[in-house]
Amino acid sequence: MKKYAFLFVSLFLSGCFAATPDSRFYLLENPRQAEVVSTKKINIAVQDVVVPSYLDRPQIVLQRQENPELKISEFDRWASDLNTMLQNLLIDDLQSALPNAVVKPLSYGSTPRYSVRLNIEKFSGWLGDEAYFKGNWQILNAKGRILYEQEIKLSRKIGKTYGSYVETQSQMLNEVTNMVAKKIISL
């Protein structure tokens, strides 16, 4: 009986001290030097970026297109709040595309000439398959009237790592930013 008790305690303790995988943290970043769209001086505000609630978590969520199954990675996580990270990257990318513009988050009492809204419906993909980005963006005037709206539906092949997934999503956000910058200049 003592042999079995010793074996049970040994197995239990070895399970308690087993190493867990290290978490990996990812940031969405501008993948390359942004194309300068214009050197025009203009004030632009970026409103909150809206993402579905199932994505509003530290873990990276994967989903195949047209499939309801989600994969929530316990050890591959966003290094920051996803909404905030998307808004900050949108601001940085717009500032790079329009270097003489003043681009800031929308704040109470500010009077930008234009403000930008980004509504994301799908921001996901599957490793070794493709990443996709679906939603719409809007440009509003100083009074809050929508001047222009465009649907987004992008997808790109990705590798088999979370790093390639995050890099591809960053590239697609950069493409959206260039569309927004070009449209603002044309208004």
Provide the CATH number for the domain around residue 69.
3.40.50.10610
E-strand stretches of 6-129: 24-26, 43-50, 59-63, 70-78, 102-105, 114-125
Could you tell me if residue 25 is inside a domain? no
The answer to whether position 46 is within a domain reads yes
17 or 103, higher pLDDT: 103
Domain-located, residue 163: yes
Question: Does any domain span residue 17?
Answer: no
**What is the rounded (10 degree) CA torsion for 185, 28, 58, 137?**
20
Structural domain of residue 86, as residue ranges? 38-186
pLDDT in tens, 41-100: 999 999 989 999 999 999 999 999 888 899 999 999 999 999 999 999 999 999 999 999
Per the domain annotation, does 171 fall within a domain?
Answer: yes
pLDDT of residue 1 exceeding 90, the answer is no
Cα–Cα–Cα angle for 152, 56, 162, rounded to 5 degrees: 75
Q: How many domains does the chain have?
A: 1
Instruction: Count CB-CB contacts under 10 A for residue 156.
Output: 17
The reported pTM is 0.85
Query: pLDDT tens digit string along 91-126?
Result: 999 999 999 999 999 988 888 999 999 999 999 999
Q: How many residues does the chain have?
A: 187
The verdict on residue 106 lying in a domain is yes
What is the rounded distance in angstroms from the CA atom of residue 109 to the CA atom of residue 93?
24
Largest CA-CA distance found in the chain, in angstroms, rounded = 84
How are strands ordered across the β-sheet holding 146-157? 102-105, 43-50, 114-125, 130-141, 146-157
Q: Residue 145 CB: number of other CB atoms within 10 A?
A: 7
The answer to whether position 146 is within a domain reads: yes
Mean of the per-residue pLDDT values for the chain?
90
Indicate whether 20 belongs to any domain.
no
